[in-house]
Amino acid sequence: MYKKRMKKTMFQSMIRIGLALAAVLAVVEVEPVSAHHSFAAEFDASKTVTLSGAVTKVEWANPHIWVYLDVKDERGGVQPWQCEGGPPNTLTRNGWSPNSLKVGDTITIDGALAKDGSKTCNARTVKLADGRSVFAGSSGGDNPPPPKP
Amino acid sequence: MTRLILGGLIAVVALAVGLPAVATAQRGYQPPGGPTPRTASGKVDLSGVWAKPYVPDMTKDGKDQKGAPVLPFTPWGEAEWKKYDPAQGDYTGSCLPFGMTRSVNTPEPMQIMQSDTYFAFLFEQNSWFAVVPIDGRPHRQGIPTWFGDSVGHWEGDTLVIDTVNFNGKTRLDTIGHPHSDQLHLVQRFSRPDLGHISYEITVEDPKTFTKPFTNSRTFTLRPDWEMMEYSCEENNKSLWEGRIKVPKP
């Protein structure tokens, strides 16, 4: 009984390791992001931001997708933010679609702030509440590539 | 024990079968193999949809890209490079034409169509194109343009595309390396096998550089991709909302 369970456990471990490997390989070497314009023309890579909130709108259009979200501030108020992502063409080839992110989804964006001080960011990663990453691909052409989802 | 080994083998086989599909969907990709294709007239056929390396900075090396680490600036070129500030206006942010080098540098794919008379660059970036006569005719003497005037000829199995008559309004790359209206480009295309193009671009510009410099790249065939529309103006919010400045002429 114990041996049988051990065999089963080892087999399950192998499957798990295999699936983990597959997951890693699935996210390596994704297509590079676009640089419709110089990143430095609009954003400051040194001013990073993490935003959590509910999606209010997604614009799936060139030259970049835009994700809008309501973010709660320290006083309990809601602040509307907008974040730029990669171009739809590249995101489509990387497996995303306009339905990958829906209105009402709670997300966390890691990105860089716009230079003009507005509530605007360049999204490097977008994570859903369940931990999955979507739209991982900013337009930060001159900067290090975004972290893998 | 036998079952354990068998179970392990099944897992490995399942992974071996499943992984290529996952990886191919991303970029652990291998193009189809085979010999260099040729046209009916015997020329190397460069046609296809090609993945290109993204080259935001032509001084840097990268995957499938060998850069020119030190650019031999003239005093004028050095001054132009030092004073460039994209925050004061980046023409590509206004969706103006990227020009030849910056279009080839983009990460978006490029389709090549070719006949005995013409070679066409079909850039997905902003849906631009450039059509190049390759039948031996000389350069046109027209108004200078964003993409310049290109003509091509064959040197053995290598197609050599020569481009002049630029308007001088573009930058060589995303990071903003300069050039002048004296820019002269020589692009060399060869196809060592079905799945790859060996590409070399030589930049000559006596106003900006004291001597020519070169980048070498490999393009990869993507028969699984189709070109997609790219309308730069459609949702260029950053410009409309004033976060990107319109460059001054």
ipTM for the assembly: 0.79
Could you tell me the two tokens for B153? Answer: 């000829």
Give the up-direction half-sphere exposure of residue A77: CA atoms within 13 A in the CB hemisphere.
4
Q: Sign of dihedral through CA atoms B147, B148, B149, B151?
A: negative
To the nearest 10°, report the CA torsion of B40, B119, B55, B84: 170
Residue at B157: amino acid letter: D
d(CA A37, CA B93): 5
- Total structural domains in chain B? 1
Q: Is residue B224 part of a domain?
A: yes
| A interface test, pick of B5, B6, B26, B225 with most A CB neighbours within 10 Å | B26
| Mean per-residue pLDDT over chain A, rounded | 76
CATH number, domain of B159, equals: 2.40.128.20
Contact residues on chain A for B14, CB-CB shorter than 8 A: 18
Cα B157–Cα B159–Cα B161 angle in degrees, nearest 5: 165
Looking at chain A from residue 1 to 60, which residues have their Cβ under 8 Å from any Cβ of chain B? 7, 10-11, 14-15, 18, 21-22, 25-38, 40-42, 59
Domain that holds residue B211: 48-240
- pLDDT of chain B, 249 residues: tens digit per residue: 444 444 444 444 443 433 333 333 445 799 999 999 999 999 999 999 999 999 999 999 999 999 999 999 999 999 999 999 988 888 999 999 999 999 999 999 999 999 999 999 999 999 999 999 999 999 999 999 999 999 999 999 999 999 999 999 999 999 999 999 999 999 999 999 999 999 999 999 999 999 999 999 999 999 999 999 999 999 999 999 999 888 876
Mean pLDDT of A84-113: 91
Strand B48-51 versus strand B110-114 pairing type: antiparallel
Helices (H), B146-235: none
B11 part of a folded domain: no
- Euclidean distance between CA atoms A144 and B174, whole angstroms: 14
According to CATH, the superfamily of the domain at A33-134 is Nucleic acid-binding proteins (2.40.50.140)
